[in-house]
C-alpha cells in the first residue's frame, strides 16, 4: 500500500513536471518566435530604407540626366539656329551680289544703247554736213564761174578760212570733251585702285544690346521688389530694360550707344556679383562708367596709331574713341573712319597730294 502510493506520487509528480516543462517550452518557443519577428521587422525596415535611399538617388540621377539632355538639346537647337542664320545671311549676300550684278549689266546695256544712239546721231549729222558741203561747193562753183582770177582767189581763201574756223571750234569742243572723259576715267581708276588696295571687313552691328542671363530667375532679381531695382537701373543708366518672354536674356534699348554699353557692363557686373540692390547698382554703374571711358580712350589711341596720324588733341582722340560704339547704315563708324582715312591716303598718293593731311581729314571726317 505504501509502495503503490509512492509510485502514484512519482507518476503524478512526473506528470506535473511534464506539464510544467511543456508550458515552459511553449513560452520559450514563443519568446524565440517574437524575437525572430522583431529582427525580421528591423530587417524589413532596413531594406525599405535602403530601397527608398536608392530610389531617391536614382531620382536625382534621372533629374540630372534629364537636365543634361535638355541642355544638350538646347545647345544643339541653338547651334542649328546659328547655322541656319549663317546660311540665310550667305544666301542674302549672294542674292544682293546677283542683284548688283544685274544692275551693273542693266547700266552697261543702257550706256551701250546711249553710245549707239550717239553714234547714229553723229552719223546722221555727218551725212547732213556732207550734203551741206556738197551744196555749198556747187554754189561756190556757180559763183566762181562768173568771178575774175583775183575775185575767185579771194573767195576761196575766205571760204577756206571760214571752214577752218568752224573746224577749229569743233576740234576744241572735241578735245574738251575728250579731256573731261579722260579726267573722269582717271578719277575712277584712282578710286578703284584705292578700293582694291583697301580690303576691310564690314560688320553690321545691332542698335540694341542683349545681356545673357544664367537663368530666368535672374529676371525677377533684376526687377526687384515692386520693381525698385529695374527703376534704379533705368534712372541711373538712362537706358530702357526690355524684359519679355525671351529665355535667359534681357534687351537694352537706348539711342546713345555709349550709355547702352555702360548699362550692359553694369548689368553683367551685377549678375556676376549676385548682389542686386539700389546701392550696389550705383557702385557697379560707377565702375562700368570708368571701364567704358578707359575703353573709349584706348579705342581712340588705337585708331590714331592705326591711321598713322599724329598731333591730334586728346579731346578729339576721346571723341574718336566714342565712335567705336556708333553705327551708321549698319557699319561701325570708327571702322568706317579708319577706312576713309586709308582710302584718302591711297588716293592722295595716286594724285601726288599730301598723304598725311588726307589721312587726317579722312579719320576726322565723321566727327563734325
Confidence band for 119, pLDDT divided at 50, 70 and 90: confident
pLDDT at residue 321 above 80? yes
d(CA 222, CA 271): 9
Q: Which of 20-24, 239-243, 278-282, 302-306 shows the lowest per-residue confidence on average (mean pLDDT)?
A: 20-24
> What are the tens digits of pLDDT across the range 123-178?
778 778 767 776 776 666 556 566 666 766 677 677 777 777 777 777 777 766 77
Q: Are 198 and 339 in contact (CB under 8 A)?
A: yes
pLDDT at position 287 over 80: yes
Lowest mean pLDDT among 122-126, 269-273, 304-308: 122-126
C-alpha cell read off for 332 = 561701325
Q: What pLDDT, on a 0 to 100 scale, did the predictor assign at position 316?
A: 87
**117, three cell numbers:** 544712239
pTM: predicted TM-score of the whole model, two decimal places = 0.45
Q: Is 66 helix (H, G, I), strand (E, B) or coil?
A: helix
Contact of 238 with 254, CB cutoff 8 Å: yes
In angstroms, the Cα distances linking 148 to 135, 142, 145, 161 are 22, 13, 8, 20
Domain boundaries along the sequence of the chain:
86-197, 209-364
The grid cell for 1 is: 500500500
What backbone torsions phi and psi does residue 48 show, to the nearest 5 degrees? -65, -40
> Residue 46 has what pLDDT?
77
Structurally, at CATH architecture level, domain 209-364 sits in 2-Layer Sandwich (3.30)
> Using CA atoms, how far apart are residues 232 and 267, in angstroms rounded to an integer?
12
pLDDT digits over 18-70, tens only? 777 777 777 777 777 777 776 767 777 778 777 777 877 877 887 878 777 88
Query: How many whole angstroms separate alpha carbon 94 and alpha carbon 97?
Result: 5
Cβ(284)–Cβ(269) under 8 Å?
yes
Amino acid at each position: 500500500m505504501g509502495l503503490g502510493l509512492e509510485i502514484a506520487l512519482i507518476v503524478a509528480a512526473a506528470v506535473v513536471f511534464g506539464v510544467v516543462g511543456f508550458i515552459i517550452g511553449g513560452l520559450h518557443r514563443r519568446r524565440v518566435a517574437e524575437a525572430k519577428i522583431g529582427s525580421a521587422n528591423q530587417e524589413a525596415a532596413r531594406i525599405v530604407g535602403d530601397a527608398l535611399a536608392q530610389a531617391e538617388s536614382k531620382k536625382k540621377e534621372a533629374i540630372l540626366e534629364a537636365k543634361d539632355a535638355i541642355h544638350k538639346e538646347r545647345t544643339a537647337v541653338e547651334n542649328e539656329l546659328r547655322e541656319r542664320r549663317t546660311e540665310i545671311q550667305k544666301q542674302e549676300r549672294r542674292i544682293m551680289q546677283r542683284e548688283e550684278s544685274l544692275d551693273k549689266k542693266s547700266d552697261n546695256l543702257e550706256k551701250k544703247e546711249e553710245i549707239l544712239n550717239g553714234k547714229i546721231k553723229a552719223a546722221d549729222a555727218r551725212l547732213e554736213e556732207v550734203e551741206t558741203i556738197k551744196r555749198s561747193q556747187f554754189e561756190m562753183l556757180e559763183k566762181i564761174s562768173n568771178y575774175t582770177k583775183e575775185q575767185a582767189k579771194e573767195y576761196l581763201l575766205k571760204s577756206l578760212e571760214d571752214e577752218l574756223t568752224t573746224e577749229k571750234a569743233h576740234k576744241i569742243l572735241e578735245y574738251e570733251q575728250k579731256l573731261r572723259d579722260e579726267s573722269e576715267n582717271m578719277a575712277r581708276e584712282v578710286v578703284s585702285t584705292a578700293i582694291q588696295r583697301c580690303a576691310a571687313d564690314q560688320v553690321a552691328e545691332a542698335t540694341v544690346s542683349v545681356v545673357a542671363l544664367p537663368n530666368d530667375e535672374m529676371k525677377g532679381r533684376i526687377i526687384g521688389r515692386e520693381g525698385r531695382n529695374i527703376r534704379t537701373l533705368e534712372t541711373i543708366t538712362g537706358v530702357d530694360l526690355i524684359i519679355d518672354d525671351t529665355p535667359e536674356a534681357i534687351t537694352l534699348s537706348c539711342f546713345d550707344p555709349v550709355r547702352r554699353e555702360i548699362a550692359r557692363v553694369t548689368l553683367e557686373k551685377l549678375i556676376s556679383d549676385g548682389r542686386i540692390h539700389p546701392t550696389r547698382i550705383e557702385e557697379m554703374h560707377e565702375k562700368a562708367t570708368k571701364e567704358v571711358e578707359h575703353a573709349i580712350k584706348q579705342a581712340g589711341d588705337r585708331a590714331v596709331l592705326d591711321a598713322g596720324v599724329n598731333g591730334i588733341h586728346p579731346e578729339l582722340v576721346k571723341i574718336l574713341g566714342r565712335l567705336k560704339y556708333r553705327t551708321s547704315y549698319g557699319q561701325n563708324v570708327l571702322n568706317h573712319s579708319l577706312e576713309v582715312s586709308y582710302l584718302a591716303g591711297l588716293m592722295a598718293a595716286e594724285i601726288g597730294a599730301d598723304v598725311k593731311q588726307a589721312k587726317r581729314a579722312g579719320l576726322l571726317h565723321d566727327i563734325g
